Amino acid sequence: MIKKLLILILCSTFLGTSYAAKNSSATKAKTHKKIKKKKTYSSSNKGDPILDAINTPATTTSKRRKPKPVTPVVSGGIPRQPKLISYAGYAVDLNTGEALVSKNASTQLSIASITKLMTAMVMLDSGADLDEYITIEEDDVDHLKNTFSRLRVGMQLRRRDLLLLALMSSENRAAHAIARTAYPGGINVFIQKMNAKAKALGMNNSQFYDPTGLTPRNKSTAIDLTKMVAAAYKYEAIREDTTTKGADVMLGRNYTHHYMNSDALVRTDKFQIEVSKTGFINEAGHCLVLYAVVDNRPIAMAFLNSVGKNGRLVDAMAVERYVDQMQ
């Protein structure tokens, strides 16, 4: 009897110890699970939400990965041309004429609001008074794409202010108004002069049908657009307006609106940009042209039909870094 009792006591002690150990192990695992934190990322660039989106790594819960600019390097440290996201792209050293990056560069595509650089040059060539007040008319309203504008019919602004809005913020009514009033004969004469200017610049694969870029019939190539941006650089007003980050414009007696530059690279000073213009319509995709200075080299870039708003920015940063690594 005593022997049986001892056996029961020993078994009970053993089972109790095992249960306590098991319970202690389970508790530790559970506690560890509680204090385990999910990885989070924060962008070091606080200047612009679009560039923040590009530079922030995607988490495992993200459904869509943000494109990140990458410049692959081969052995020996020699940089290789970046793979562009845009359907067509071209970068050229304007000092030497050397093509640095090229992808479908001779393909003719719609260029959207990149058109406004040509509009600005042709208007400035007219010698029109930049301080003259221009009235926004019904003819300036977009009935093709029905794009939104804060410039109401009947509103009056100086021609120089309309030029700024057309170049900095891609304002369509502003672009149409400065084109409509630049020459006797109105829009038809202005468009003729746009195509004549393109021909004079050697843009042999470009056609213009309106001054805003809302029509997909305005077409060019990445190579031709680098010629256009190089010509635009010679105009001080274009250099200043396309690189202005933002401006307050009085649109009424008690109403001032803050317009921003449509190019996130300009807004955040990513690198030295002297001329910039963005563009988008559905038929053209997202487009961008730049005149940039990289290691004291003037570089003209053009990117057409890019994927999403970020693709063209990624391409521009990749080309800038590629050129920088060439030195």
**CA–CA gap between residue 122 and residue 116 (Å, rounded):** 10
**CA–CA gap between residue 220 and residue 97 (Å, rounded):** 19
Which listed residue (86, 110, 116, 197) is catalytic?
116
**CA–CA gap between residue 156 and residue 124 (Å, rounded):** 19
170 is catalytic: yes
**CA–CA gap between residue 125 and residue 175 (Å, rounded):** 15
Q: Which amino acid is at 181?
A: T
| 234 Cβ contact list (under 8 Å, min separation 6) | none
113 is catalytic: yes
116 is catalytic: yes
φ, ψ for residue 102 (rounded to 5)?
-150, 130
Would you state the structure tokens that stand for residue 38, as one six-digit string?
């999910």
- For 223, half-sphere exposure in the C-beta direction (CA atoms, 13 angstrom radius) is 14
Whether residue 277 is annotated as binding a ligand: the answer is yes
Which H or E run includes 134?
strand 133-135
Task: Report the DSSP pairing between strands 219-220 and 156-158.
Answer: unpaired
Classify residue 294 by its DSSP letter: E
Report the 10 Å Cβ neighbour count for 86. 24
Which listed residue (86, 103, 110, 113) is catalytic?
113
Strand partners, 88: 304
**CA–CA gap between residue 179 and residue 211 (Å, rounded):** 7
Which listed residue (110, 170, 220, 276) is catalytic?
170
Is 43 buried (19+), middle (13-18) or exposed (0-12) by CB count in 10 A?
A: middle
Is 81 buried (19+), middle (13-18) or exposed (0-12) by CB count in 10 A?
A: middle
Q: From the annotation, which residues make up the binding site?
A: 277
Q: From the annotation, which residues make up the binding site for substrate?
A: 277
Could you give the residue numbers annotated as active site?
A: 113, 116, 170
